[in-house]
Amino acid sequence: MFNRLSFRLGLPIVLGVLLAWGFLTLFVLSSISRFAGERAERDLKSYSREVAEILGNAYDTLAQSGKMSDPTEVRVSKARALGRLEKHFRLTESPGLVADADGTVLLVYGVKSPAALLSLPVQPQKAVKADIGGDEERYTYQIEFPLWRWRVILTENAADYAQLASSVRTLYLGSGGLLLLALCAFLLFTQRAISRPVAVIAKALERGERPGMLGVQEFNNLAGAIRAMMDECEERERQVRMGRKWYRQMFEAAPVMMFSLAPNGWFSDVNRRLCDLTGLPREELLAIPASEVLEIDQERLEEVWMGNALRHVSGRLRTQRGLTRQVLLDALLTEDPSGQRVVLAVVIDVTEQRESERELIEAKENAEQASRAKSEFLANVSHEIRTPLNGVLGMLQLLEKSALDERQTGWTRNALDCGRSLLTLLGDILEFSTLESGGQQCGLEPFAPSDILLEISQLFSRQAQAKSVALIMESDPALPRTLIGDGGRLRQALFNLVGNAVKFTEHGSVAIRVESVKRDRHGVARLLFTVEDSGIGIDREKLARVFEPFTQADGSHTRRYQGAGLGLAIVKRLVELWGGSLDVDSAPGEGTLMAFTMPVHAAPAGIQAPLAVAALPGFPGAGPKIGGRVLLAEDDPINTVMTMDMLESLGYRATIVENGADALRALAQEEFDCLLMDIQMPEMDGITATRAIRAAPALGEKSSIPIIALTAHALPGDRERFLAAGMDDYLAKPVEYDDLAGVLARAMGKPWRRRLS
């Protein structure tokens, strides 16, 4: 009747329901019995208290009368007590009896079998269920009254409770039968409504078909869900197949070498790139240990098997032709499609890259060597040209100050102007070459912006006066006198701009201004410098050309103004080095305004810029000559004669030595006010000699003598290098007479220096 599914589904339900019903019946019956006993015991105890009170009251009344010894009064009291008990039994409808000590029944009410009650064992003050025959199933409660030796038995009929229990039992058994019939109907329903649809769906799945079911909506939904799940499984299986195919294609077409390594150290899979690079077919690679082809640190490889991924580990790959390739390996631990643990690795051939890196390193070293050679060449060219120029210009300056007639003085001045022009051109070419090499950095030294403007205006004052051009200098009074910045190159930039302005201005004025501006986006304070003239101006079409090296606005053979065309190119690169830009506003016939900014920093407390030459007391031409003893360390004979003559004309007495060692010995033997030190000398150069003097305790106070570098090393950075070595000042060759006077005045004016002569 029922198939296996219906039986498996219905039997546990039927058994469970029947067991639950049986336990419920037993629980109800036991509850009824317990309730009957508790009710009977509660009623009988209540009756017993009343009976005990009646008997007690009768005995107390007899005792109070004082006739306890009178038999007649005792019988009367007992009769009254029995009467009251009988009345109590009638009122409470509580059956019971009273008997004396010998079993004689004194009072009975509502009890059909007094003898059966008296035969029960005595259990005073306890309700006991007793079967006394027939339908006399009762609960009994016995009281002993020892004063009169009476025995009182109270009863409560239990037949009503037994009948109730029987009715309940009949009801539950009938209900159980109905329940069993209902369960059988349920099994039949599950057979038709559950088992059959499930069987239909199962058979469809066994045949690999999409299940379909009409009837119960839930099974319709189940069949639909199974169909959707089967569709999704097929789609995922298709995606897995495509993923494996795509992975295989990517594995084979990868531009790098890829392989998987089995736990025994043999290749479990390799791609085409590895086969091509090694020259071995796939079958041969899979038949040999990986160590025969790939050399890699075994300890690092063991780390992969422990779960640690490898990143860019160097190794070597051997090819079939015996060649060795340098490779980088990345690897991680994973599982292949069969679930076996393997190491998946990617290998990149870096042989050409390493070779390129080596070539780049060599090229970099060669470029650095070429840059050093260029720097050395520029330094040597500068030194070798400045040394003879120093003699030429120095002698011309001495000749200019000698007794010459007006015509000879003109020749001398023209020769000096030509020499200075040559020196300026040389400096511009060397400075431009240095800036073009990109090896320059911003200098940091204390300088006074207003003093630099004063120096520049004094340099061009004679040229401007000759053309009746007014030189105007304006400095912001709020600027501090001393700032930290690239003061040396600032002089050079202003020298070129003011020189151009004076050269291209025939009448009118040239104004040089400096003022502070706001901080830039990096928080660095800047100064704004402007040079404005009323000269010929520049066409807007030619503005871009004037900043190109070796280019002028007028490049024709008939041009009026001469020059190499490097000034503005140098200024532009200097301003770019400072992180700014050179702004130009010009128009033909309306003059030109050029402006730029330069970063500066506040000078620490106690740091002051050197005084300008013209501001020093005792400057030649501004007062009497200072005088003093000067030690000159110079190895070039012409420069020695020229410098000595300049010193003597300035009022100084000079002692000459040829190298640093002689200067050290002379300083130990004699007293000098100042030391002019050449840098490039035989036996001991100027830097070594300066350090030896500063570190010589035997010299005592002489180790603090002012030392001035007098050298043809005039490239950017040379001045800072000499000052860092312990020198106090710097004077580049060719030496200008007024510049020499200025540095000597600064040295002689140092307050900490004791004058020795």
- Cα separation of 746 and 728, whole Å? 10
CA atoms 50, 149, 126, 156: torsion sign: negative
Contact 48, 79 (CB under 8 A): no
Q: What is the CATH number of the domain that holds 73?
A: 3.40.1840.10
Residue 192 domain-assigned (yes or no): no
- Better-scored residue on pLDDT, 561 or 439: 439
Residue 437 domain-assigned (yes or no): no
Alpha helices in 66-134 (DSSP H): 71-92, 114-118
Q: Give the strands of the sheet with 324-335, arranged side by side.
A: 267-270, 257-261, 341-349, 324-335, 310-318, 294-295
Bridge partners (DSSP) listed for residue 327:
315, 349
Looking at the structure, tell me whether residues 485 and 552 fall in a common domain: yes
What confidence score (pLDDT) does residue 72 get?
82
Looking at 324, 349, 374, the residue that finishes a domain is 349
What confidence score (pLDDT) does residue 661 get?
92
Q: Residues 163-179: what's their mean pLDDT?
A: 65
Q: Residues 663-671: what's their mean pLDDT?
A: 91
What confidence score (pLDDT) does residue 195 get?
66
Contact 258, 271 (CB under 8 A): yes
Total structural domains within the chain: 4
Looking at the structure, tell me whether residues 116 and 16 fall in a common domain: yes
What is the extent of the structural domain holding 715? 363-419+625-757
What confidence score (pLDDT) does residue 470 get?
93
Q: What is the CATH number of the domain that holds 272?
A: 3.30.450.20
State the pLDDT confidence band at 662, using cuts at 50, 70 and 90: very high
Looking at 149, 165, 181, the residue that finishes a domain is 165
Looking at 165, 183, 198, the residue that finishes a domain is 165
- Cα separation of 536 and 522, whole Å? 38
Sequence letter at residue 438: G
Contact 437, 371 (CB under 8 A): yes
Q: Residues 3-22: what's their mean pLDDT?
A: 60
Q: Which of 44-53, 280-289, 668-677 has the lowest mean pLDDT?
A: 44-53
Share of the chain above pLDDT 90, in %: 11
Looking at the structure, tell me whether residues 665 and 546 fall in a common domain: no
Per-residue pLDDT reduced to its tens digit, 493-532: 898 899 889 988 988 999 999 998 877 766 678 899 999 9
What confidence score (pLDDT) does residue 554 get?
47
- Residue 225 structure tokens: 């869900």
Per-residue pLDDT at 215 exceeds 60: no
Cα three-residue angle 526-532-535, rounded to 5 degrees: 155
Contact 663, 698 (CB under 8 A): no
- For the chain, first and last CA: distance in Å? 143
Residue 186 domain-assigned (yes or no): no
Rounded-to-10 torsion of CA 551, 555, 557, 562: -60
Contact 561, 552 (CB under 8 A): yes
State the pLDDT confidence band at 87, using cuts at 50, 70 and 90: confident
Q: Residues 361-368: what's their mean pLDDT?
A: 82
Q: What is the CATH number of the domain that holds 570?
A: 3.30.565.10
Per-residue pLDDT at 26 exceeds 90: no
- DSSP assignment of 418-479, as one string? HHHHHHHHHHHHHHHHHHHTT------EEE-HHHHHHHHHHHTHHHHHHTTEEEEEEE-TTS
- Cα separation of 639 and 641, whole Å? 6
Q: Residues 186-215: what's their mean pLDDT?
A: 68
Contact 729, 739 (CB under 8 A): no
Q: Is the peptide bond before 71 cis (omega within 30 degrees of 0)?
A: no
Per-residue pLDDT at 250 exceeds 90: no
- Cα separation of 45 and 29, whole Å? 24
Q: Residues 242-249: what's their mean pLDDT?
A: 75
Looking at the structure, tell me whether residues 503 and 543 fall in a common domain: yes
Q: Which of 377-381, 462-466, 511-515 has the lowest mean pLDDT?
A: 377-381
Residues 6+ apart with CB under 8 A from 397: 416, 646, 736, 737
Q: Residues 665-682: what's their mean pLDDT?
A: 91
State the pLDDT confidence band at 663, using cuts at 50, 70 and 90: very high
* Mean pLDDT, all residues of the chain: 77
Q: Which residue, among 282, 256, 212, 483, has the nearest Cα to 348 in the 3D structure? A: 256
What confidence score (pLDDT) does residue 73 get?
80
Looking at the structure, tell me whether residues 139 and 282 fall in a common domain: no
Give the start-end residues of each E strand in 253-363: 257-261, 267-270, 294-295, 310-318, 324-335, 341-349
Per-residue pLDDT at 65 exceeds 70: yes
Exposure of 90 in the CB half-sphere (CA atoms within 13 A): 6
Q: Which of 79-88, 186-195, 308-317, 585-594 has the lowest mean pLDDT?
A: 186-195
Q: Which residue, among 599, 603, 609, 577, has the nearest Cα to 517 in the 3D structure? A: 599
Looking at the structure, tell me whether residues 456 and 407 fall in a common domain: no
What confidence score (pLDDT) does residue 498 get?
92
Q: Which of 606-615, 616-625, 734-743 has the lowest mean pLDDT?
A: 616-625
Rounded alpha-carbon distances, angstroms, from residue 41 to 66, 139, 166, 331, 626: 38, 8, 21, 90, 144
State the pLDDT confidence band at 706, using cuts at 50, 70 and 90: very high
Residue 438 domain-assigned (yes or no): no
State the pLDDT confidence band at 163, using cuts at 50, 70 and 90: low
CA atoms 464, 466, 469, 475: torsion sign: positive
Per-residue pLDDT at 320 exceeds 90: no
Residue 327 domain-assigned (yes or no): yes
Residues 6+ apart with CB under 8 A from 346: 254, 256, 257, 258, 329, 330, 331
- Residue 63 structure tokens: 């005792």
Per-residue pLDDT at 425 exceeds 80: no
Q: Which residue do the tokens 């207003």 mark?
A: 450
Residue 595's H or E segment, with its range, is strand 592-602
Q: Which of 74-83, 171-180, 313-322, 447-456 has the lowest mean pLDDT?
A: 171-180
Q: Which of 389-393, 463-467, 474-478 has the lowest mean pLDDT?
A: 389-393
- Cα separation of 619 and 746, whole Å? 9
Residue 654 domain-assigned (yes or no): yes
What confidence score (pLDDT) does residue 743 get?
87
Per-residue pLDDT at 715 exceeds 80: no
Looking at the structure, tell me whether residues 367 and 303 fall in a common domain: no
What confidence score (pLDDT) does residue 556 get?
39
Number of H helices, E strands in the chain: 20, 23
Bridge partners (DSSP) listed for residue 601:
484
What confidence score (pLDDT) does residue 104 get?
82
Alpha helices in 517-580 (DSSP H): 567-577
Residues 6+ apart with CB under 8 A from 746: 610, 611, 613, 616, 729
Share of the chain above pLDDT 70, in %: 74
Q: Which of 67-71, 89-93, 445-449, 520-524 has the lowest mean pLDDT?
A: 520-524
Residues in the chain: 757
Looking at the structure, tell me whether residues 469 and 525 fall in a common domain: yes
Looking at the structure, tell me whether residues 462 and 523 fall in a common domain: yes
> pTM surpassing 0.75?
no
Residue 647 domain-assigned (yes or no): yes
Bridge partners (DSSP) listed for residue 354:
none
Exposure of 163 in the CB half-sphere (CA atoms within 13 A): 5
Classify residue 550 as left (phi > 0), alpha (psi -120 to 50) or beta.
left
- Cα separation of 451 and 475, whole Å? 10
State the pLDDT confidence band at 754, using cuts at 50, 70 and 90: very low
What confidence score (pLDDT) does residue 128 get?
64
Looking at the structure, tell me whether residues 333 and 466 fall in a common domain: no
Looking at the structure, tell me whether residues 562 and 651 fall in a common domain: no
What confidence score (pLDDT) does residue 234 get?
80
Q: Which residue, among 395, 303, 382, 311, has the nearest Cα to 345 in the 3D structure? A: 311
What confidence score (pLDDT) does residue 440 get?
60
State the pLDDT confidence band at 137, using cuts at 50, 70 and 90: low
Most confident of 199-208, 212-221, 333-342, 543-552: 333-342
What confidence score (pLDDT) does residue 720 get?
80
Helix (H, G, I), strand (E, B) or coil at 29: helix
Q: Is residue 707 exposed (0-12), middle (13-18) or buried (19+ Cβ within 10 Å)?
A: buried
Residue 443 domain-assigned (yes or no): no
- Residue 492 structure tokens: 């050079």
Which DSSP state fits 734? Answer: S
Per-residue pLDDT at 752 exceeds 50: no
Looking at the structure, tell me whether residues 461 and 333 fall in a common domain: no
Residue 121's H or E segment, with its range, is none
Bridge partners (DSSP) listed for residue 513:
474, 530
Q: What is the CATH number of the domain that holds 685?
A: 3.40.50.2300
- Cα separation of 137 and 129, whole Å? 7
- Cα separation of 647 and 741, whole Å? 8
Contact 719, 488 (CB under 8 A): yes
